[in-house]
Amino acid sequence: MRRARRSVLIADHSKWGHAGFATLAALGDVRAWVTDHAPPGAREVFEARAWRSSRHAGRAEARLAPLHSGAMNDQDSAAPSPPPGETTPAPRSRARMLELVFPKDTNYLGTAFGGFVLSLMDKAASVAAVRHAGGAVVTARMDGVDFHVPIRVGDAVALDARVVRVGRSSMRVRVDVYREHMASGEQQLATTGFFVFVAVGEDGKPRPVRPLAEGQGTDGEEPDPEARP
């Protein structure tokens, strides 16, 4: 849709392959891009790759899992990716998500429910916290959520979550939510919020987490336009 700037339909699925399986307590990361440009009106081939990342302590790897190529109008060509099954470092202390807004996610005015947006923010923030902690976390608090502009049905929601402060066992995560108009490709900061998570061990009790790298993240840091999904 980003490339076509209009609605698209899936015309064909082909070349499914699995190099690994996503399991319980694993994170999934799916990326898609156009791999074969075609003349206007013709079908274009896109490729989608999915990575699975272990969230257990001491495991920060991302492993390429399913591979799917099909015919569809989508986005730009992507950078080369590692071969299926190869282990590569996963991002630390940060997470990005992209979600489409459907009618079921909106109110009678056609704008996204606040609870729907908050649930996406909590999910993105928890992934960033899990990546930083290297293990399980629980949501302790959410605060300072500001809704700047409405998100409407048919828009895409792009979220950027990053750990900005770390205590002994707690992490403060900032989440910036962008509204993307699919026809124009323009993005606008729609919502900003902060979430606090606590890392817990197998016994369910708080456990220590590593500090942020020097100079990494501050509560007052401005949104990073280059970090949008």
The residue with tokens 């100079």 is 215
Task: Tell me: pLDDT of 1 over 60.
Answer: yes
Task: Concatenate the DSSP letters of all residues of 158-217 into one string.
Answer: EEEEEEEEE-SSEEEEEEEEEEE-TTT--EEEEEEEEEEEEEB-TTSSB---PPPPTT--
Identify which has the larger pLDDT, 107 or 1.
107
Q: pLDDT, tens digit, for every residue of 54-99?
A: 544 444 444 444 444 444 444 444 455 666 667 777 778 899 999 9
- What pLDDT digit, counting tens, does each position of 205-215 carry? 999 999 987 76
Q: Compute the mean pLDDT over every residue in the chain, rounded to the nearest whole number.
A: 76
Taking the C-alpha atoms of residue 62 and residue 20, their distance in angstroms, rounded to an integer, is: 11
* pLDDT of residue 160 exceeding 70: yes
Domains recognised in the chain with CATH numbers: 12-89 (no CATH), 94-227 (3.10.129.10)
Range with lowest mean pLDDT among 54-58, 125-129, 135-139: 54-58
Could you tell me what percent of the chain has a pLDDT over 90?
47
pLDDT of the residue at 66? 43
| CA neighbours closer than 13 Å in the CB half-sphere of residue 140 | 16
